Structure 1
């Protein structure tokens, strides 16, 4: 029944999005965002007679049918993510804008849970500075709240206004309070008082050299790597002792710009963990990613006696995965104090 209702939700939301896309003449992404906002608000938003009355009436009927399905938060999220995957096919999204798989959100939440548990914290000011579709952030928050009684204040940044709108509307339907900012994450942030950051970083060159000039991770020649600048920017904006959990290319420390990144890390942050993600999450060895955990100097922070390193086992190997969780617990208990 649950599977059937999730399929119904996906089909109905897809139908509503196709309707709104046609009526407003927008992309599938913009129509999906608007539908999610409408669903969260409980009514169809109309501006200057658009969408027209017939479309409004059909949308209201679909929204009423969606309300009848009564999905759990996890089922609701799954149904919406299938619509996001459809959007990425319809709109032919760039690789850097593709949705982060749920499994990566789960792994990041496990790491965060053990750190917060060791620090004795149940309140968290969280940011995702490259929020994209919002799936990584929402999965992370859902998993964290299932694992413990956390009060989470969430913020998000992205330079793509369509994705900012999607992440905001997605979070509203999921009942997550999110402050979303449309801006270049490498420019100055409005958000302050941040304890933790998570980011599945876009990889590539950053085109605005004058913005990159103030960063220690900038390249000496040509464009700098955007993911290096974003790591530095994010860590600079955290509170003392704040933690950054970054999804990065596995080869991050083996590129021609790695020296600048390593030099900055030694002087400004503690490198606490480098873990390769399970290889079955990626199509090829070149696409393989890792989790890097950094901690800002100050507060109770200190360099871990042993940086946690290795490859995270596939969750389809429960014994190995449980062993990883035990390792994670010991590492957090020994290196993060309240």
Structure 2
């Protein structure tokens, strides 16, 4: 019970510090939370052009001392931050495409990735999330991979939203994870190289810059192209030979008006290894349902899986079905991914 009180105290203090900073800087809640986390990681209040003022700095310093005095486990620490992110996004009325990816999706993605990299006997993972958003998917994924096995993970993230990339960077610093953060359009050229894993909860919709889309094989015949198609192609192009791409996409991705272009590109450039519908209890409606699609870039030891892993992931609460699913993933990985 005492632990629950500590968790609540941490959440309340972090929330109060963010609200004070929001008022002092006339910023959004998410911006204020990002700056609060950065201040906590740096151990001091960042002041620029006299803002926040000295009175506010004194208040914040006191709150930060109280926050630092609270001892939480890594899991609790992350939980307190993610609930603050959810609150901040709700208060800011954040767009649907910018909402935080739930922890469960990070957990399920890590379960599949763990078996793949174990089968490939790969310990060093250089990974990227090209649409990192709040950073929660990437951070939850890394935490789960570290719990499950002995991996050396280097992470990078890209986002075109300055507020979100700042939040992701600050979140990772507070969680003692080293993240290389890039504020840019992920459809434009990347500076990151030597990547063997990509993970992304892709924003769904049309990409407005037709000139940038022109070089992609997944571009639309006419009009705007789907951003999530371009992002899949761009990401896979930037992976090492045999690299793995794991994408959270609408379950109906292969049934849309632009699906033919995506399928044609995939046949020539990647192996489709798995399509797994996420548990339906994670989504408000059938239309909102998403899936994990696992692609592998041609080259290296990569080969097309004899059987593409397909189906719906059981709810984690359904212990027996979930254990069967885990065994199925393990067998599939051992059979189809070589070291």
1:218 matches 2:219: yes
**For residues 16-31 of structure 1, what are the structure 2 equivalents within 5 Å?**
16-31=17-32
Query: Following the alignment from structure 2 to structure 1, what is the Cα–Cα distance between the partners of residues 143 and 80?
Result: 15
Deviation of 1:116 after TM superposition, in Å, equals: 0.7
Query: Following the alignment from structure 1 to structure 2, what is the Cα–Cα distance between the partners of residues 220 and 47?
Result: 48
Q: Secondary structure at the match of 1:239?
A: coil
Which residue pairs with 2:199 in the alignment?
198
User: Could you tell which deviates more after superposition, 60-69 or 225-234?
Assistant: 60-69
Which residue pairs with 1:139 in the alignment?
140
Q: Secondary structure at the match of 2:181?
A: strand
Deviation of 1:54 after TM superposition, in Å, equals: 1.1
Which residue pairs with 1:245 in the alignment?
246
Q: Secondary structure at the match of 1:70?
A: coil
**For residues 157-196 of structure 1, what are the structure 2 equivalents within 5 Å?**
157-196=158-197
Which residue pairs with 2:7 in the alignment?
6
Query: Following the alignment from structure 1 to structure 2, what is the Cα–Cα distance between the partners of residues 297 and 35?
Result: 43
Query: Following the alignment from structure 2 to structure 1, what is the Cα–Cα distance between the partners of residues 286 and 5?
Result: 36
Which residue pairs with 1:99 in the alignment?
100
Query: Following the alignment from structure 1 to structure 2, what is the Cα–Cα distance between the partners of residues 229 and 48?
Result: 41
Which residue pairs with 1:234 in the alignment?
235
Which residue pairs with 1:331 in the alignment?
332
Query: Following the alignment from structure 1 to structure 2, what is the Cα–Cα distance between the partners of residues 13 and 229?
Result: 38
Give 5+ residue unaligned stretches, structure 1: none
Query: Following the alignment from structure 2 to structure 1, what is the Cα–Cα distance between the partners of residues 327 and 91?
Result: 42
TM-score for both structures, normalised by structure 2: 0.99
Which residue pairs with 1:267 in the alignment?
268
Deviation of 1:223 after TM superposition, in Å, equals: 0.4
Give 5+ residue unaligned stretches, structure 2: none
Query: Following the alignment from structure 2 to structure 1, what is the Cα–Cα distance between the partners of residues 5 and 240?
Result: 45
Query: Following the alignment from structure 2 to structure 1, what is the Cα–Cα distance between the partners of residues 316 and 34?
Result: 32
Deviation of 1:49 after TM superposition, in Å, equals: 1.6
Which residue pairs with 2:49 in the alignment?
48
Q: Alignment RMSD, CA only?
A: 0.6
**For residues 280-291 of structure 1, what are the structure 2 equivalents within 5 Å?**
280-291=281-292
TM-score for both structures, normalised by structure 1: 0.99
Query: Following the alignment from structure 1 to structure 2, what is the Cα–Cα distance between the partners of residues 251 and 2?
Result: 42
* CA displacement 1:153-206 (0-9 Å, x = unmatched): 000000100000000000000000000000000000010000000000000000
Deviation of 1:85 after TM superposition, in Å, equals: 0.6
Which residue pairs with 2:79 in the alignment?
78
